Chains A and B, each alone.
Chain A
Amino acid sequence: MTKLLIKKHGLTIRIAGLPTFRTPAEIDITKIDINLVLSELKKHGIHDYKIKTEDKKVIEQLKSDDEHIRVELVGSNDEILNIIKEQNETINNLKDLLIKFINSDLKDNVKQKEKPLVKINEIEEVEEFIPTINLGKSKLKNSSTKSVKIKSDYKDSANNLKNVLDKKE
């Protein structure tokens, strides 16, 4: 038999397959899918409950300070020791793999492959001080500039200027 225990007062709970009940309550939920019960409780915002199963496992939803849901499976000491043993083995396997990787040439290969990638990224991020001019695809159409005609003897003026500047030198 599986039982749902809710200690909090004043809640009206509706779970499909069960009559509506008010809390605090201890309800037999053997015939109801446990996932349905959990989702209904979540939907109603109920975090403070216990579900007791026939094999004495307790699914307990604790109300934590930060409102995050935490489901704990509490079993026999042997089961807990087995889980720890399994996790320990996994960690050791990972450790061995890492040591192998560090001692192998594979590490250098990975680094060499990364280098050009970093360089390309760097080039993309650097902004040019003066943008490159690319006139390849630019086309001027109908150039119409205003113009004034001025008669001036630039050559004479330039000669005068050259003479003045040459004297200075």
Chain B
Amino acid sequence: MGEETVEAAVAEASVEKKAKVISCGLDIGTMNIVCARSDSEEIKIMRNVFLELNPDEINISDLSDISYIENEGHIFIIGNDAFRLANIFGKEVSRPMEKGLISSKEINAIDVLTIMIQSLIGDIKDKEMYVSYSIPSESIDEGRSVTYHEKVFGRVLAALGVNYKAINEAMAIVYSECSNEKYSGVGLSFGAGMCNVCCAYKGIETFKFSTSRSGDWVDKNSADSLNMVKNRVTSFKEKHLNLQVGFQKEENKKTRRVLESLTYFYETLIDYTIKRIIEEFNKNVDTELEEPIPFIISGGTSLPDGFLELFKNTISKYQLPFDVSEIRRAKNPMTAVAQGLLIKTISDVASKK
């Protein structure tokens, strides 16, 4: 064995040794579960839904390309495939989470949820795995506690044999996006079930809260006002909504009507969130922030074009109790939370050594 080869082998062995400690960021959202691992550039995303089918309803051989879990004679189709098959069978998918928190209706399917998370986290054999998972803040407009949600996912991760820690979802956005500002900023996560807000100053949370108004709230209120099914409105939103272009130019009358409704509820959502930020800051922060801080907008509900501009326009109408340096969108609104969680996990693991 030549000198170079020995060196290469030693380097490889050392990489292998290092690779045994794996950090992971797990964003558990109402609509999606997102997972980022320190040993991979790939960030995995899975729809947080499943569909239970009786074995009499489907032939196992028909499921060759479909993600599913077999559990004591039951078949659970998971992720995007659940949506597809639900339409075929005329069934409703089960959603383990509701308004940002674990749903008590689906808690008995905890095994299914655990396997979904296991498949996202991936291989942990012979690895020391550290996982930070996202939790929302207590909601200011709904009296639901976060404790149960936090404990359920703690148990799920314990069952998978990993080290785990719960971290606030909006704070994770600051970890992900505010490195240049030394982790000062306001992270906003407009998810499906909740809007989470966290104001951080130099890496420390100053105040945080959540509201129950976000994507599902917009869809439900639009659907109610148009006398439509919510899923249909969601589909319109995902396909057609552009808050920058507006709804006036839409030629199809029905689509225009839905888009107009969605636009109004988006405006109300943003206005409501900004008002709550001002209120909560005044209530919780006594000192003045020394430097202007940025607003970072993230989450699936913030994806339509024009959301950022609408947010900027709305906030400009208010006198904020602190200076804002910039309002920007997270680089990857769908994965920012998972990435922030991963950064915090790596930092925590490094501090341990």
Judged by a CB distance under 8 angstroms, whether A120 is at the interface is no
Q: Beyond A131-B108, A146-B80, A158-B350, is A165–B203 a contact (Cβ under 8 Å)? A: yes
Interface flags for B56-92 (1: CB within 8 Å of A; 0: not) read: 0000000111111111100000011100000000000
Note all chain A residues with C-beta closer than 8 A to B63.
Answer: 141-142
**In A117-160, which residues have CB < 8 Å from any B CB?**
129-131, 133-135, 137-152, 154-160
In the complex, A149→B178 CA distance in Å? Answer: 21
Q: By the criterion CB–CB under 8 Å, are B46 and A168 in contact?
A: no
Is the CB of B332 closer than 8 A to any CB of chain A? yes
A138 contacts across to B, CB distance below 8 A: 69-71, 111-112, 115
Stretch binding the partner chain, chosen from B215-223, B285-293, B336-344: B336-344
A144 touches B81 (CB 8 A): yes
**Are A154 and B44 in contact, CB atoms less than 8 angstroms apart?**
no
User: What residues on B are CB-neighbors of A131 within 8 Å?
Assistant: 107-108, 110
Beta-carbon contact of A133 and B111 below 8 Å: yes
Contact segment of B35-43, B236-244, B247-255:
B35-43
Q: Are B70's CB and A135's CB within 8 A?
A: no
B53 contacts the other chain (Cβ, under 8 Å)? Answer: no
Tell whether, in the assembled complex, residue A148 and residue B43 are in contact, meaning their CB atoms are under 8 Å apart: yes
Decide: A150 near B343, CB < 8 A? Known: A131-B110, A135-B111, A144-B67: no
Whether B127 is near chain A, meaning CB under 8 Å from some CB there, is no
CB distance from B239 to the nearest CB of A (A): 18
| Bound: A1/B182 CA distance, A | 116
Given contacts A138-B115, A140-B67, 7 further A-B contacts (CB under 8 A): A130-B151, A131-B107, A137-B71, A142-B67, A146-B80, A154-B339, A157-B175
A-B contact pairs, 26 of them (CB 8 A): A130-B107, A130-B151, A134-B111, A135-B111, A138-B70, A138-B71, A141-B70, A142-B66, A143-B119, A144-B65, A144-B66, A144-B67, A145-B44, A146-B44, A147-B43, A148-B332, A148-B334, A148-B335, A149-B43, A154-B23, A157-B176, A159-B350, A161-B175, A162-B351, A165-B203, A167-B202
